Each structure stands twice: as C-alpha cells, then as structure tokens.
Chains A and B, each alone.
Chain A
C-alpha cells in the first residue's frame, strides 16, 4: 500500500471510529441480555459459517 493509501485508510478508519463510538455506547447500554441458550442459537450458525469458509479455502 503506498503512503497516500495508508494515510487515507487511516483517516477513514479514525473517522469511522469517532462516528460509531457514541452509537456503540448506546447499543451496549440498551441491548438486552441473552440467555446461554440464545447465545448457542446464535453461535451455531456462525460456527457453520467458519466451517464453510474452511471448505471454500480448500476448494480454491
């Protein structure tokens, strides 16, 4: 990555962090707590996504 791309990328990421941070704080405060069963129901499909990506890497 050349210097201007690095500088531009850094500026974009810092701007995103500044904009997203207040919204993130609000979401963290307002999010309801999930039960262990609810977390399992969310993590299983994401685990399947991970396995699928491994499969795709092996195919390429």
Chain B
C-alpha cells in the first residue's frame, strides 16, 4: 500500500521544510536585530543629525524594493539584509538621542525596547503555537497601512498632535497584525517561503512597533 506511505513522506518533508524555514528565519532575525542595535548605538555615539533618520529610511527602502528581490535567493541576499537592518538601526540614532535627552528618557527608551520585545514574543508565540492560518488578514492589513500612510502624509503639514498619536497607535496595531500574518505564512508555507524575505518582513514589523511605541511613550509618559 504505497499511497499512505507517500502521503506520510510528503507531510514529513513539508514539516521538516517548515521547521528549517522557521529556524533560519529566527536565527537571521536575531543576528540582524543585534547588528541593528549596534548601529543604533554607534549613531547615538556619533550624535548624527536628524536628517540621518530620513536618509537611512530612504536608503533602506531603495534596498528593499530594488535590490533585495534580485538577491534574496543568493548568498548576496544575506549581505543586503544586514545592509538594510544596519541602515535602519543607524537611522534610529537621532530619534534615540532626542528621547534620551528627556527627563525620564532612558526609562522611556528602555520601556519601548522591552515592550516591543514582549509584543513580538507574545504574538509570534501565539501564531506558532496555535498554528492558525491568518492569511485572511492580508488585504485588511495592507489597506489599513495605506490609510495610515495617507494620514501620516497629511499630518506632516497639519501637525495635529492627537492625529500623530492616533497614527502611531494604528501602526502598532497593524504591525501586530502583520506579525501574526507573517508568522502564520511561515508555518503554512511548507517551506516554500524564502527565509531572507521573511526576516526582512519580521524586522520591519518590529522596527515600526518600536519607533511608534517610543513616540507614544515619549508623548504620554513625558513630564508635561
């Protein structure tokens, strides 16, 4: 009776491929987060000007949209991932310098850092343990992200503090949703998803949660 053996063999192969994808993704993610943190520290130490944030983001997005798709399936992809995360980490320097200069600055930054870690571990753990398929959220999340981008664009010129806080809260919820969506994509892909691309997706979710949590804590937790 070969058919049940064939089915069992294919299921086992898919499970092994999924486990390999998850292992590779989280290993690369932890290395890139560490590297990004070091670059952020260097940027704070060098007292980089505020424009660094914008230039770092711009450079990272050029790499993500133009370079990464062409290199994700080769060894060069690893270098590109570290370049992206290094740039984004370096761009955080001016932001961190600004928040650290507040009276309870170190507490705000530390709380944002720890809070981001708890959110990431909690949501990833839930998606991995429950093995639920969150693919239905994709359209809703990307629509929400587009709305937030448009609101952020408007608020550059409107400069309404309450809208700024609402945007940050919305980004955190959307990125939390993306954490569930991306993690479930890994679990249900059967190993067909590229771990380099998964790492960048997860990293961007964590990065955005940290930046916007820092903003909320900086505004709400200040001594005003």
Report Cα–Cα, A46/B135, bound state, in Å.
16
**A45 near B126 (CB under 8 angstroms)?**
yes
Within 8 A of B (CB), among A31-60: 31-34, 38-39, 41-42, 45-46, 48-50, 52-53, 56-57, 59-60
Which residue on B lies nearest to A31, using beta carbons? B139
**A24 near B153 (CB under 8 angstroms)?**
no
Main secondary structure of the interface of A (DSSP, over half): helix
B residues near A8, Cβ cutoff 8 Å: 51, 54, 58
**A20 near B157 (CB under 8 angstroms)?**
no
Indicate whether A56 sits within 8 Å of B61 (C-beta atoms), given known contacts A46-B173, A46-B176: no
**B57 near A12 (CB under 8 angstroms)?**
yes
Which residue on B lies nearest to A39, using beta carbons? B136
Number of A-B contacts (CB under 8 A): 121
User: Which listed residue, B112, B134, B153, touches A13 by the CB 8 Å rule?
Assistant: B153
In the complex, how many angstroms separate the beta carbon of B52 from the nearest chain A beta carbon?
11
23 inter-chain pairs at a CB distance below 8 angstroms, sorted by A residue, are A8-B51, A10-B157, A12-B57, A12-B58, A13-B156, A17-B153, A19-B65, A20-B142, A23-B142, A24-B142, A24-B145, A27-B138, A31-B138, A31-B140, A34-B137, A38-B134, A42-B137, A45-B123, A52-B119, A53-B169, A56-B213, A56-B217, A60-B221
The 8 closest A-B pairs by CB, nearest first: A60-B221, A34-B136, A31-B139, A28-B139, A24-B142, A31-B138, A13-B153, A8-B54
